[in-house]
């Protein structure tokens, strides 16, 4: 079933509406409390929406754009979306081992085949079926390599940090992007728009809902901190051990323990006989070393939750 006399399937249209709403919610949350993971995820949602729009609308003879150009754009947004995944994991989750793939592997094995077969060759021979047959070979093989490399990077990150919450989040996003490895196969067999959109979109709705739920939880815990209440039942031995693991200084460890107990920065400054500005500087260094952006994440991570 198509909508508004276009080539867009009703299911694709519903995904577009849902993802548009999630994008607005995520944008508002990001504006209130900037978070690098959410920022990179907003880029991911933007690319997903672009992919759904172009993949749903094109090719359509009623649109005043040549069919060949429509096909190039539609396949291009799909390749662009898939190419962003390694960069997203590299930046959002700080998986440094993915740097080569994010910056060099993707242009070589995903974007170059797209430009060669879906742009240059297609513009010359106008035989899309033939270009798909040869153009997806390298991307298919490389997509399997990427899935393996990203999973290894996630596992390595967990072994080094033992942060179960982030580990679950990374695995959830990984599961959402994994079906994109089948995109080359779907292109080869030229499956229906419905099959394609269900395969590529379903996981992202779950991930967005999980991120929103996490934001609500963090907001509630932040309120507890604001009122001077510890957000968690602190394990002081574990907190000190994690401070040592993140190479915090003695003073930073002391301040971190006070933050975990729910003390506000002004009270910490009074207790340590230092200025609030000095506390702010210590907090900034602590956040950078531990890899967090707010007090709740710090307390959670130092408690190993």
* Confidence band of 243 (pLDDT split at 50, 70, 90): confident
Residue 25 pLDDT grade (very low, low, confident, very high; cuts 50, 70, 90): confident
- Which pLDDT belongs to residue 159? 83
The residues with which 9 forms a beta bridge, in sequence order, are: 2
Contact of 164 with 305, CB cutoff 8 Å: yes
Domains of the chain, earliest start first = 10-224 (1.20.1070), 233-303 (1.10.10.10)
Q: What is the pLDDT of residue 46?
A: 94
Q: In this structure, what are the phi and psi dihedrals at residue 192, rounded to the nearest 5 degrees?
A: -70, 160
Helix (H, G, I), strand (E, B) or coil at 4: coil
Neighbour count for residue 244 (Cβ, 10 Å): 10
Count of C-beta atoms within a 10 Å radius of residue 223: 12
- Which pLDDT band, with edges at 50, 70 and 90, does 117 fall under? very high
pLDDT tens digit sequence for 151-193:
999 998 888 776 677 788 888 889 888 888 888 877 787 778 8
Lowest mean pLDDT, pick from 27-41, 111-125, 274-288 = 27-41
Select the more confidently predicted residue: 239 or 163. Answer: 239
The pLDDT, as a whole number, for residue 224 is 65
* pLDDT at 85 (0 to 100): 93
User: pLDDT-derived band of residue 199, with 50, 70 and 90 as boundaries?
Assistant: confident
Q: For residue 2, list its beta bridge partners.
A: 9
d(CA 266, CA 295): 14
Residue 264 near residue 226, CB atoms below 8 Å: yes
Rounded distance, CA 26 to CA 48, Å? 14
Q: Which of 21, 207, 78, 150 is nearest to 158 (CA)?
A: 150
Residue 29 neighbours by CB under 8 Å, 6+ apart: 38, 212, 215
Q: Is it true that the peptide bond before 59 is cis, omega within 30 degrees of 0?
A: yes
């Amino acid at each position: 079933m198509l909508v508004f006399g276009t080539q867009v399937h009703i299911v694709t249209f519903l995904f577009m509406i849902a993802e548009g709403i999630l994008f607005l919610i995520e944008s508002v949350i990001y504006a209130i409390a900037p978070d690098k993971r959410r920022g990179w995820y907003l880029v991911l949602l933007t690319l997903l929406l672009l992919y759904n729009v172009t993949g749903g609308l094109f090719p359509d003879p009623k649109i005043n754009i040549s069919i060949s150009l429509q096909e190039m754009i539609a396949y291009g947004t799909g390749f662009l979306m898939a190419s962003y995944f390694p960069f997203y994991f590299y930046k959002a989750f700080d998986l440094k081992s993915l740097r080569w793939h994010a910056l060099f592997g993707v242009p070589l094995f995903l974007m170059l085949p797209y430009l060669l077969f879906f742009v240059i060759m297609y513009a010359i021979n106008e035989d899309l079926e033939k270009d798909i047959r040869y153009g997806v070979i390298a991307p298919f093989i490389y997509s399997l390599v990427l899935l393996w490399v990203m999973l290894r990077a996630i596992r390595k990150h967990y072994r080094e940090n033992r942060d179960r919450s982030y580990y679950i989040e990374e695995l959830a996003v990984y599961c959402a992007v994994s079906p994109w490895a089948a995109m080359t196969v779907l292109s080869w067999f030229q499956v229906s728009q419905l099959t394609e959109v269900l395969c590529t979109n379903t996981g992202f709705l779950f991930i967005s809902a999980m991120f929103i739920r996490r934001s609500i939880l963090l907001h509630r815990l932040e309120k507890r901190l604001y009122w001077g209440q510890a957000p968690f039942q602190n394990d002081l031995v574990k907190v000190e051990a994690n401070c040592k693991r993140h190479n915090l200084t003695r003073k930073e460890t002391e301040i971190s323990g006070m933050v975990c107990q729910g003390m506000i920065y002004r009270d910490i400054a009074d207790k340590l006989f230092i200025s609030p500005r000095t506390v702010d500087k210590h907090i900034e260094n602590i956040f950078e070393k531990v890899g967090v952006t707010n007090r709740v994440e710090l307390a959670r991570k130092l408690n190993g939750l």
